[in-house]
Structure 1
């Protein structure tokens, strides 16, 4: 077993002792490289739940895993409190609706919505409006620049319905995480960056697509060039499949230079 494999094994062993959650700092301390951690996330083996905190499986996230991840995200001195503390200490077997964490008086952790609020107070921030929209999309599930570009440049600007982001599913006996799932029409849109979609990653993509088809889902795949250079044509492709599967909405032009003929997309 290579040094990299041993380091990953140590990290995943530690994660199992922490409710399947592990921090980036812990991974690096155990000998993993930053690139190795990034690859595990990009390839769908691990998922990032907070900045620098990962869950080492793609299945349903239990409350105890969420609690462990929250403690790792909050850092040194954090402790569960109130109903959360009662749950982990066996005083109740009911999962609380959220995770309550206490911090030492000298420390402060700002949540993602507080980041949006802080940004809104800086009225003269040059990119304030754009950053605000991006943070909202990230909170809704978009996890990469490519996914954000799809949400804003393809889906929203052309009047497509909003997909479910990073949807967990079970197909062909395996758990998968779908980038964009139009659940009513059973259409998946997967966005392929280079990392995780070559070699073994390409084989997993085929397995994912085949399993989706057997379950009645259609998969469309687009890369960086498609989404950034040809967003109007991507929107047209997605709209065509959605309409074939019952979508009754109307595709719209994204602006005066849009490459779509909007009239052709009015539902008759």
Structure 2
């Protein structure tokens, strides 16, 4: 069932699994403010039954990043150009970037697990969109790159935190500052990819992972995801407290004593 199909984004839902597809392969799924708003809307449209969200791109590339039209004086029709935004107030510029970031934030909600199926190019905003997801299954032709610094910019769509927490500060800095490509073998070795498969097997591998993710009880997965996300910032003793509280909730639920 399709719940959304607009501005280069299609959302379909099949009971517990939602699929968000980037649908502009002619432009290698280049991104725009309209696409970002559609992604935000997709997150808000998820039914409560959904447990796994798969993100994919049509065609040979996952997403080649921001559409360069954003940097032209005319920008996109009906949108302020990035140059016009830069000339505006600091408050407007900050609120506009915050709106763009919303498209990249909802993928790590504790009640869902998001899986990016990545093939071909995942550049800049495309790389950050893949990083927004909990897990990444990639084709052996994948090419990740963070090209913002080469344009005189920074990665500002939520990608710096998951990149650094995944590969470490030094490697994240090197990847971002050089803008070089990270290919499949390295992506798997440094943790950017959970699994690398031949391009023709990408959909089947994602389906197998989705089936495995749906096997345990939902509440147990939700509690575990929340614990693991919090573990990054909590001191060890605080994490032990969080574990006890989560386990107490699970035991009460299994005993039929939950509210």
TM-score for both structures, normalised by structure 1:
0.30
Which one has a bigger Cα radius of gyration?
Answer: 1
TM-score for both structures, normalised by structure 2:
0.31
Between 1 and 2, higher relative CO (CA 8 Å, sep ≥ 6) is seen in 2
